[in-house]
Structure 1
Amino acid sequence: MPALSLRISSSVGIQGLISVSLALSQTEPAATDNYFEVAINYAPQPLVSSKKAMKSSACQKLLSILASADSLVASREDNSDSESRTWSSYHGSGEASDYASVATSGAKVDRDFGFDDCGTPAERVKKRRRTSGSNKAEVASGKKSSSKKNKDRGALTNVIVVDELGDLNGDEDLPEKLVASWKEGINGVGQDFKSVKEFRETLHKYAIANRFVYRLKKNDTNRASGRCLIEGCSWRIHASWVHADQTFRIRKFNDEHTCGGESWKSAHPGKNWLVSIIKEKIRDSPNEKPRDVAKAILHDFGIKLKYSQVWRGIKDAKEQLQGSYRKSYSRLPWFCKKLMESNPGSVTKLVISDEDKRFKHLFFSFSVAVNGFTNGCRPLIFLEASSLRSKYKEMLLTANAVDADDGFFPVAFAIVDIENGDRWQWFLEQLKSAISTSQQPAVTFISDREKSIEKHVRDVFENSYHGYSIFHLMESLKKNMKGPFQGDGRGVIPAVFLAASHAVRLEAFSSLTEQIKHVSSTTYDWVIQIDPAHWTTLLFKGVPYNHIIQNPAEEYSKVIDDMRGSTVMQKIEALVSKLTNTMNHRREEARNCSTRLAPSKEKQLVEKAVKARSLNVLFSSEVVFEVHDDLTHVVNIENLHCTCLEWKFSGLPCCHAVAVFLSTSKSVYDYCPHWFTVESFRSAYSELINPISGIGRPVEDEVDYESADVHPPLTPRFPAQQKEETPKILDSNRRTVICSKCKEPGHNKASCKATI
C-alpha cells in the first residue's frame, strides 16, 4: 500500500525555513521500498508573513507540489483507509516541532505552520492575539504576574502544559498520543508494577493526563498511599510491595473526584513535584545541563519549562541531594578535627570573623604530604590559585612540590574568601609552620608573575628564591604580542621566547631576544621588562625549574569544574579523594621502578649515553678531562662542572660528562643528585593518607552545630570596568550649525542663552 509522508519544520515569528520532503513508497511482494524526495527551501520572510509574501512564487510552487502529490497518491491507492495523511517531525532531536493533519483533497496549509492563505494580515494578527492567552494552562494558581520581573520570579509554580511540539493548541494541552497512553496508566486494584519507582512515575503521568493533583501521604520502598490535594475529595489510591510475587501492586483505588477538579485549578504543586522529577534525573548525572533536563521533562511528561525554572529546580534538587551550600560551612570545624584525628601530625587552620561568624580562610596539609616533601622532593614549590566555582567567589590556593620524576606533589591547600596579598601572606605563614625544619634548605618558590606575591615570599621565607612560572609567562606573552610584525611573523615568537628562557650563555640569550625584536619591537620591550633574572636559566639563582611548562593547578581545577554546584565540603572531599588517588598511583609507579633513577631522568641519561659513545675523551688529570665533538669541552667531575654548562643548570651529567664516566668505568649514578633517584621517588610516596570517616555525609552526633555555626563569606564586589570613550572624529564636510537668534556657531535657537 503506498504511503505519503510530508515533513514540515517551522518556527513561528523568526526568519524561518520550510523544508517539504515528499516520500513515496510502494510495497510489493518480494520488493523493497523505493523512495524519492522533493525538497523546497523557502526563507524570504518570517513565517507569519504578509499577504504579499504568501503570493510569492515559492509559496505557489509549494502548494502546487502538495496538490500534485495528493493526486499522485490518490491514483495509486487501493483502499480508502489511506485518505488521511500524517505529518511527522522534520527534526529527530526531540525539539519542539509543529504537527497537523492534511486531507488528501486539499492543499491548504494550516495556521499552526505559521501562515494562512485566507484573511488579511490584520485579521491574522488579531486572531493570534485572541488565542495566545487561552492557549496556556498553568499548573498553579492560574494568576498572571503583573510584570515580567515577577513572572520570572515565579520559581517553578508557573508550569505551562503543552504538546510535544511546543505549540499550544487551544484546550488540548497535551499531545493526543501521550494523553491516550497516560490516561490508561492506572487501571485499578490488582495492577502490578516492577517497583515503587515505576508506580510513582505512572501515577505522575496519570495525574497530568487526567488533570488533577495528588499528594502521597505514605511513600517509601514498601508502600505508597495517595490522596487528592483537596481535602474531602474521595479520590484515593494505595499500593504496596507483595513479597510472594516480588511486585508492587495496587490494593485500593477510588478513581472518583468529588472536588470538581479544584486541585488542578488552585493547588500549587509545581515546585515540589518538578524538583522531585529533576532530582531523579540528576541523581546519577549531577552535571546535567538545564536544557537537557528541560528536554527530558518535555519528552517524558509533555511539560514545557523555561530555562530559569529548570535552573532553579536543579538548584533545589541538588540542595536536597547534596545538602545546602550555605550550611555546609558549619561542617568545616568538624572536618579540621577529623582530619587531625585520622592523620596525626597534619596541620589545619580555620579562620572565621568574630563579628558575624563568616568564613574567611581554611588551610590544611596532610602529614603524609609534608613528610613526602621533606624526604623525597627537591626544595621547589609552585604556588597557584584557582576559582572554587561558586557564587561566593572563593579561591583555592595550592602549594605543589616536584618529585623525582618531575611530577607535581601536592603539599598544602587553602580556601580563602578572596585572593589578595594578605591572604597569600597568611597562606605562606601556615605553609612555613607545616614544612619548616632545622635542616630545611632554601626553598625556591615559583608563581604567576601577575599575582605579585614575591614580596610576601621574601617576608615569610627570608632565604628563599622566587621565579616566574613559565606556563603563565607563555600565557601572558600571547596577550602581549603586538604588531606590527616583521620577518617570520608572530607565530615564531613563543618558540623563540621558550628557547631564550633555556639559554645558558648570554650570547645565546641576546641572539634569541634579538630575533624577537626583529619580528616585533613591542613584544621585545615586554620580554625585557619582565626581569629575565626571574625566569631564565642563565640568570636565575634558585633550583632550576623552567623545563616545567605545565600548569600545576590544572588537575585540581578539573576536579572543581566537575564539582561545580556542589557544596564546599563536597569539593574538599573531591580534592582529598584526588590527592589520595594520585599518591596511591604514584606510589605504585615508584615501587615498580627497576632503575636507579626515576623513569624520566633515566630516559634522559640513556639518550645522553647514546650520544656520548661518539665523543673522544682525553685525560688531563684524575678529575679533569677534555671531550671533543664539534667543540672542545672541559669536564671537572670533582666540581660537577662542564664548560657546556648543561650539568650545572640541569643537575644531570651532560653527554660530555657521561662520555668521561664511560671511559673511566666510573658510575654515572654516583654523580646524579639524590632527588632524581628512585629512592627519593619512593620516599615521597612511602606513606598513605588515612581515610576521614564520614567526610561525605553530615555527622550530627559528633558536631555541635550551634557552637560551630559558620556562615559563608560575603560575595566580594569588584569595581565595574570603566568603558573607554570613543574619541569623536571630526568630519570636515559636516555642516556647522549657526544660531538664527545670535548668529553664533555651535548651537541652535532652542539652546541659545544669549539675551536680546
Structure 2
Amino acid sequence: MRLRAICKGTVAFNDGHVGEPTPCPWVIQGSRSDVNSNWFIKTYNHEHKCLQTRKVRSATAKFISKQIMDQIESNPTIPVRALQEQLQKDYQVGFSIHKVFNRAKSTAKKLFQGDYKKQYDVLRDYILELQSINPKTTVKLEFDSEPNLSATSRRFKRMYVCLGGMKKGFRACLRDFLGFDGAFMKGPFPGQILTAVGVDSNNGIYPLAYAIVETENTDSWKWFLECIADDLDLYANSNFTFIRDRQKGLQTAISQLFPCAEHRFCLRHIHDNMRKTWRTNEYKEHLWNCATTTTIPEFNHRMQQFRSYDVEAYNWLKQIPPQHWARSHFTGRAVSDMLLNNLCEVQKKCVGPLTPSATKIMEKNVNWASQYIVRWNGSDKYQVQGPWQDQHVVDMVERVCNCRKWELTGLPLYRSVGTRSKRMHWMDARAVLNDQADNGEEVGELHTYAHRVHWLETWKAAYVYKVEPIKGRAMWPISECPIKITTPLHKNQPGRPKKERRQSAEEKSQKKGDNVASGSGSQSHIASGSGKLTRKFIQVTCSKCKIKGHNARTCKGQGGK
C-alpha cells in the first residue's frame, strides 16, 4: 500500500503576486506491506510556501484564542505554560508554546481588552454616551498641533473628565478642599493620570475629576487646574485649600493660577524623605508633634525640642515652610486639619444629627468636660482651666477658642496633643456649654455648635447625585465629527522604567511585617519578609582581631594578632 499527499496551495512570491499553476513544495510519500504494519516514510518535504497554509495557521490561532478566552479574562497574567498544558489536556493534541504565546494569547487579549487603536476611534462616541447619560458632565479633549489645517485626523494629547453628579456632590460637601495626585499608565501608549478628590462630611474621599495627560509637568498640571477652575468657577483670588504630594510642576501651576490658595503638603511624604537620612521612630514622633500642634507658641516649643534632639534634622525640616505642613499655620477656611493625602471611608447607614466620625469624637470625649473649671467674664467670653494646667479663652459668640481647634475642624469638643504614651484632651467649648446649662441658660442642641460640614444632612446631600452606568459600545451614539482621533506618540516617562510601583518605607514595613528596633545612633536591624535580618546598617566585627568596622578578608592586623 502506498500513500502520497501534496499541498494544493499555490506559492506566494516576494512581490506579492501568486503564481498560476506553481504548487506548494510540501509533500509526503510512504508505503506499508499490509493493513496491520507500520508506514514507512520515503519522501517528506516539510517546507510550506503557500497562502493556504497561512490561512490555516491563522484559523488555528483564532481557535486557540477562543478556547483560552475565559482563562485570560479571569486571570490576564496567567502563565503561558499553564495555557499550553490545559489545551493539551483538553484536546489530547500537542500545542507549540510559541504559538500559544505569540499568537493565541495576544489575539485573546485583543478580543478581551479591545484594540488600543480602535478605542481611540470610538472616543468621541464614548463621550457622547457619557454626557447623554450623565447630564452636566464636562469632557475636554486636546490634540497635538497640526500644521496641515486640512488634515482629516488629529493626534490625541490630553483628556479631562468631570462627571456631572460628582461635580454637584462636591459642592454639596461645603468644603473648599481638594487633594491632587498622579500615577503612571501602562500599555502601548503610556502616560499619566491626574486625579482631584475632595473630602466629604465624614472625612471620606470624594472623587471629583481626572485627566489623562502625556506626562506630569507644569504645563499638564496647569491645564488640569484650568479645567477644574472652569467647572467650579474658581478665580485667581479664590480661597481654596489644596493638599498634594509635592508632585513635579504642581506647586508652580497652583502658584500661577491661584496665588491666594492655601498649599498643604502630605506629611507622610515629608516623613518618607526624612527616613532616607533619619530612620528611627523618635524622628517621626518629633515630626508629628510639631505638625499636630494648633498654635504657633506650641509649634515653636516643639521645634525647639526637635532641635535639642538633632540639630541637623531640625535644620532640614525648617527649610520646609510650616504653612504647608503644620496645623498651627493652617487657616480655618477648609474646615479640615488633615495632614495626609490618603483618605478613604465608605458611607454607611446611620442616624443622628452628626456624621459617624463627628459623633464618635463627641461620644469619646463627653466625660472629660467635667474636669474643667469655667469662669465667665460677664460678657461672651469664658476662661477654661483644665486638669493639666492648660488654660484657654472661649468666645461663644464668635465660636472660637484660642487653641484654634474649633476654628480648624469646625468641632468644638476635642483637642489632642502629645506623644502616643501621654495624651492631653482639651474640650474648652464643651465645658463652657455644661457651665451655661448648669446656670439655667438656654444652650440649645449640641450639634448646632458644630460646623454644617459635620451635619448628617450635609453628608447625605453630597450623595444624592448619582453616576449613571453607560450602555455597551454597540448602542453608543455615533459622532458626526469628521476629524478622526489617532493614537498619541509614544513618550518615555521620566526615570527608569519600573516593574512595580515604588512603595514607601511604611508600606514596605506594613506589607512584610518589618520591625524596626532603634539602637544607638541611626543604626537598626530591619527584618525582611522572609524572617531573616538584613546586613544593611549593621556594623560587622572581624573574626580575627575582634574589632568592629571590617571583616576577616580585609583585616590588616589592627588588633595586633
Aligned to 1:681: 459
2:115 to 324, 332, 350: 324
Higher Cα radius of gyration:
1
- For the pair 1:607 / 2:364, whether they are aligned, the reply is yes
Give distance in 1, aligned partners of 2:306 and 2:97: 53
Q: Counterparts of 1:227-626 in structure 2 under 5 Å?
A: 266=48, 269=57, 271-272=61-62, 274-290=64-80, 292-293=82-83, 296=86, 310=101, 313-355=104-146, 357-436=154-233, 442-478=239-275, 480-482=276-278, 490-517=280-307, 520-541=310-331, 543=334, 545-551=336-342, 586=347, 589=348, 592-626=349-383
Aligned to 1:707: 482
**Unaligned stretches of 5+ residues in structure 2:** 1-23, 29-38, 147-152, 414-426, 438-442, 497-561
Give distance in 2, aligned partners of 1:409 and 1:415: 19
Give CA deviations for 1:507-552 in whole Å, capped at 9, x if unaligned: 4334444454455544333211122221111113353645352525
Kept in 1: contact 2:218–2:252 (CA 8 A): no
1:720, CA displacement in angstroms?
7.3
1:456, CA displacement in angstroms?
1.6
1:373, CA displacement in angstroms?
1.3
Task: Tell me the SS of whatever aligns to 2:140.
Answer: strand
Give CA deviations for 1:561-589 in whole Å, capped at 9, x if unaligned: xxxxxxxxxxxxxxxxxxxxx9xx73xx3
2:446 to 668, 671, 680: 668
Percent of paired sites with the same residue? 23
Which letter maps to 2:329? L
Which letter maps to 1:598? T
Give CA deviations for 1:390-442 in whole Å, capped at 9, x if unaligned: 2322211111110000001111111112221111111111101111179x962
Q: Counterparts of 1:56-67 in structure 2 under 5 Å?
A: none
Give distance in 1, aligned partners of 2:277 and 2:369: 40
Task: Tell me the SS of whatever aligns to 2:340.
Answer: coil
1:278, CA displacement in angstroms?
3.5
Aligned to 2:430: 658
Aligned to 2:557: none
Aligned to 2:517: none
Task: Tell me the SS of whatever aligns to 2:207.
Answer: strand
Aligned to 2:510: none
Task: Tell me the SS of whatever aligns to 1:670.
Answer: helix
- For the pair 1:627 / 2:384, whether they are aligned, the reply is yes
2:405 to 638, 646, 657: 646
Which letter maps to 2:265? Y
Give distance in 1, aligned partners of 2:25 and 2:352: 77
Worse-matched range after superposition: 496-505 or 509-518: 509-518
Give CA deviations for 1:318-373 in whole Å, capped at 9, x if unaligned: 10223101221122211222222112211111112243622111111112111111
1:687, CA displacement in angstroms?
1.5
Kept in 2: contact 1:336–1:349 (CA 8 A): no
Give distance in 2, aligned partners of 1:664 and 1:674: 23
Give distance in 2, aligned partners of 1:321 and 1:261: 44
Structure 1 residues 651, 231: closer, same or farther in 2, change over 3 A? Answer: same
Give CA deviations for 1:663-711 in whole Å, capped at 9, x if unaligned: 32323322211111111101111121222222xx35587246x935222
Task: Tell me the SS of whatever aligns to 2:342.
Answer: coil
Task: Tell me the SS of whatever aligns to 2:407.
Answer: helix
Higher normalized contact order (CA 8 Å, seq sep 6+, divided by chain length): 2
Task: Tell me the SS of whatever aligns to 2:210.
Answer: strand
2:470 to 692, 695, 712: 692
Kept in 1: contact 2:384–2:392 (CA 8 A): yes
Aligned to 2:553: none
Kept in 2: contact 1:372–1:685 (CA 8 A): yes
Which letter maps to 2:460? R
Task: Tell me the SS of whatever aligns to 1:597.
Answer: coil
Give distance in 2, aligned partners of 1:672 and 1:658: 11
Kept in 2: contact 1:616–1:627 (CA 8 A): yes
TM-score, scaled relative to structure 2? 0.67
The CA RMSD measured in Å over matched residues stands at 3.7
Kept in 2: contact 1:470–1:546 (CA 8 A): no
